[in-house]
Amino acid sequence: MEEEKRQQLKELVEELESYRGRHTELITVLAPAGSNINNIGNQLTSEQSTAQNIKSKTTRTNVNDALERLIRHLKLYKTLPKNGLALFCGNVSKKEGQPDLKLWAVEPPQPLKMKYYRCDQTFYVDPLKAMLSSTEVYGLLVMDRKEATFGLLEGKAITRLKHLTSGVPGKIKAGGQSAARFERLTEEAAKEFYRRIANLLKELFYNMPKFKGWILGGPGPTKEEFLVEGNIITELKNKLIATKDVGYTNEEGLQELVQVSGENLRQEEITKEKRLLEKFFLTLNKKKDKAAYGLKPVEKALEYGAVDILIIGSGIDKATQKKLKQKAKAINATVEYVSDETQEGAQFKSLSGIGAILRFAVQE
């Protein structure tokens, strides 16, 4: 899903979740891909008969009005869109006796897989929320002989999953043991630790939905030893994307591993977003007149045709987004959307969440 479409869907879901009916009068209709549009219309007509049993006259009227509007809207379609259709309709007024009937018709970016009808105090948006999750996830592993930390990269979020410690002896040998015997025991303990890591690697990632592959990192040659000695199952060995040198084997190491794997993950959102914002902050620092942030300075740059890349962060209201986007398109500027889930994204949000990299400087 393109970032712009993801952002639009996210905002719609948040808006729908914000409504709560005064009574059970918010209607959700999910028509899955490939279903018969006439059958959907017939079901809504049947629900009109059922709605006559609602005791409250006000609720009965609001439900019937919503059903009637849904039925009329469905008649605009000859067939359902290729991914199905999600319809939301109901009285969203916060004032008793002043109805505010609204309808949303959503053509989802991915196929709807369930047929669903509900009349409740809230809209049912879980299937749309599921589409916002990343389509691919990456496993992360940083390790040395002392410890190993497992993580997950999903979209822009890095999550720590598990941490293991080895108990492998250090270089100082125990008293009374020969050097050869101590070294042998150390190597056996290391191999056992590698097997534990391999088992957990399989447990965490082998059957994980949307699992794309994994990246291995750590200081020194331990990670290469693990690949040889760890008895990793073939399916996971084949999904190893890269092996990287990193200085840490804790949560900080997971962050470092993602950073140094930028070339391998260049198609992933987190890398694209970090690279864009790094460019913005570098421009702001080195060539201040070639960057702008804040609504008014960016609008001025747009009016002068100076914007090369318009950057819109999370939390910017839809009306402002639409206005900025229209102005950017009028001057053939690129529009990019970023989240606040990365360190750079959070920093950008603190600068208003609106920024631009300029083609030329704009005079004050």
Q: pLDDT digits over 120-152, tens only? A: 999 999 999 888 866 678 999 999 999 999 999
pLDDT in tens, 35-77: 899 999 999 999 999 999 989 999 999 999 999 999 999 999 9
Highest mean pLDDT among 81-85, 199-203, 262-266: 199-203
In the chain the domains, ranked by start, together with CATH numbers, are 3-132 (3.30.960.10), 137-267 (3.30.420.60), 270-358 (3.30.1330.30)
Residue 176 has pLDDT above 60, yes or no: no
User: What percentage of the chain has pLDDT greater than the value 70?
Assistant: 95
pTM higher than the cut 0.75:
no
User: What percentage of the chain has pLDDT greater than the value 90?
Assistant: 66
**pLDDT band for position 5 (50/70/90)?**
confident
Residue keyed to tokens 């006000």? 58
Res 329: pLDDT: 92
pLDDT in tens, 185-233: 888 889 999 999 999 999 999 998 889 899 999 999 999 999 998 899 9
Q: Of 262 and 357, which is predicted with more confidence?
A: 357
Q: Of 61 and 174, which is predicted with more confidence?
A: 61
Residue 300 has pLDDT above 90, yes or no: yes
Q: Which residues does 170 contact at the CB level (< 8 Å), separation at least 6?
A: none
Residue 170 has pLDDT above 70, yes or no: no
Res 61: pLDDT: 94
Res 134: pLDDT: 62
